[in-house]
Structure 1
Amino acid sequence: MPYLVSDVMTRTVVALREGAAFKDIARTMRRWKVSALPVLDGDHRVIGVVSEADLLPKEMLRDPDGDPDRHGRPSGGSGLAKADAVCAEDLMNAPAVTVRADETVARAARVMARHRLKRLPVVDGEGVLQGIVSRTDLLKVFLREDADIAEEVRRDVVPRLFAVPVEPIRVEVRDGVVTLTGRVRDTSLVPVVTRMVRAVEGVVDVDCALSGPPRRPDLDPDLPDDAPTARADGAGAGTVV
């Protein structure tokens, strides 16, 4: 079974209420050494996220020369609104990008990459906060032992495609790189097994050196050169033995 978000997420989460004050948010980020915090409603559902970037517009207005526009006054209504915001509800990005606890680690990684986020709040089916998953958490799958990976490939992958190989298929794993050697009856399945092995949690790469059955020897030797042929001298012409 693939790793789920619930297998790697952090369950102790610091969160904010909608009315959390600006300075309290800044203090909380500093105390817990985090760059973003989920915002919850009264039922503990995640309704948004406040990040360090959401706090910066207020600081950008503090221009030492007294000309806020010259040195990067927040542009657009959103930037100006956050510069004037004093609580989490006004600072947060909503709706929040979240991931379900029962989704796969691969799915969480895709969501994180697509939205260019460093962490995701983890919720249940009702949107209630369950934990948080970070990039570091997603990389935990690559700490899996080589022997554990090899056992899964031998038990769950190879028999599904090659129940009766021509010769035993050898599976070796070193630093997460899986090497497959041996002979199989149907080489068209080699790309399939490569994809399946690569999908195993913790696999870094796959070196598939599987080959087909050995070629059979030629069982029909050439006819001898002195085989009888038709005569071409007129005697018995047209007779072939």
Structure 2
Amino acid sequence: MYRFLEQTAGHYMTRTVTTAGRDLTIREANDMFERDDFNSYPVQEEGQVVGIVTKFDLLKCFAFTPNQMIPRYADLMSRTVGDVMTSDFIYVRPETRLTRVLQLMVEHRLRSIPVMDGDQKLAGMIAREDILKALSETADH
């Protein structure tokens, strides 16, 4: 277990990351979620990460309250990722210890977290599965 304490996001993150554009429609984003079986995508614009879009963000489009009428399905599906993405998102750096990544995931109920380098460029994504892999690989069996 001690070896886990020394591990960093950069060592276990996925380096090849699929991103979404702000102008992507909800329908197109939904197709991406189905195709890739991911739970979130960083949203990039001109090389910068400007937000994150999750399956939950898509579901929130369909939630209604007594003072909100339900729009037609086709109207909702034509909205854009920019309309529903989270602009204020949590990220870590490659040198962030996995103990901190795990803490953030648990506290904020996150399935994955973008990993940003010193220039605020996307370096990768770290997911729950990566943490579980690190725990398994560093365990004293």
Deviations 1:192-219 (A, max 9, x none): xxxxxxxxxxxxxxxxxxxxxxxxxxxx
Q: 1:188 matched to which residue of 2?
A: none
Partner SS state of residue 144, structure 1: helix
| Shift of residue 114, structure 1, vs aligned partner | 1.8
From the superposition, tell whether residues 15 and 144 of structure 1 become closer, same or farther in structure 2 (CA, over 3 Å): same
Partner SS state of residue 100, structure 1: coil
Residues 101, 122 of structure 1: 8 Å contact kept: yes
| Shift of residue 25, structure 1, vs aligned partner | 0.5
2:97 pairs, out of 104, 111, 134, with: 104
Q: 1:26 matched to which residue of 2?
A: 30
Structure 1 unmatched runs, 5+: 62-67, 75-82, 147-172, 176-241
From the superposition, tell whether residues 84 and 6 of structure 1 become closer, same or farther in structure 2 (CA, over 3 Å): same
Q: Which structure has greater helix proportion?
A: 2
- TM-score norm. by structure 1 comes to 0.49
Q: 1:5 matched to which residue of 2?
A: 9
Structure with more contact order per residue of length (Cα contacts < 8 Å, sep ≥ 6): 2
How many aligned positions are there?
132
- TM-score norm. by structure 2 comes to 0.80
In structure 2, how many angstroms separate the alpha carbons of the residues matched to 1:57 and 1:107?
28
From the superposition, tell whether residues 139 and 60 of structure 1 become closer, same or farther in structure 2 (CA, over 3 Å): same
Q: 2:73 matched to which residue of 1?
A: none
CA RMSD of aligned residues (A): 2.6
Partner SS state of residue 126, structure 1: coil
In structure 2, how many angstroms separate the alpha carbons of the residues matched to 1:26 and 1:101?
29
In structure 2, how many angstroms separate the alpha carbons of the residues matched to 1:8 and 1:28?
24
Q: 1:50 matched to which residue of 2?
A: 53
From the superposition, tell whether residues 37 and 73 of structure 1 become closer, same or farther in structure 2 (CA, over 3 Å): farther
Q: 1:114 matched to which residue of 2?
A: 107
Moved over 3 A (4+): 57-61
In structure 1, how many angstroms separate the alpha carbons of the residues matched to 2:96 and 2:122?
15
2:132 pairs, out of 139, 147, 150, with: 139
Residues 39, 47 of structure 1: 8 Å contact kept: yes
In structure 1, how many angstroms separate the alpha carbons of the residues matched to 2:138 and 2:117?
30
| Greater Rg by CA | 1
Partner SS state of residue 28, structure 1: helix
Percent identity, aligned pairs only, is: 25
In structure 1, how many angstroms separate the alpha carbons of the residues matched to 2:128 and 2:16?
16
Letter in 2 for 1:54: D
Residues 61, 84 of structure 2: 8 Å contact kept: no
From the superposition, tell whether residues 69 and 84 of structure 1 become closer, same or farther in structure 2 (CA, over 3 Å): farther
Letter in 2 for 1:119: S
| Shift of residue 86, structure 1, vs aligned partner | 0.9
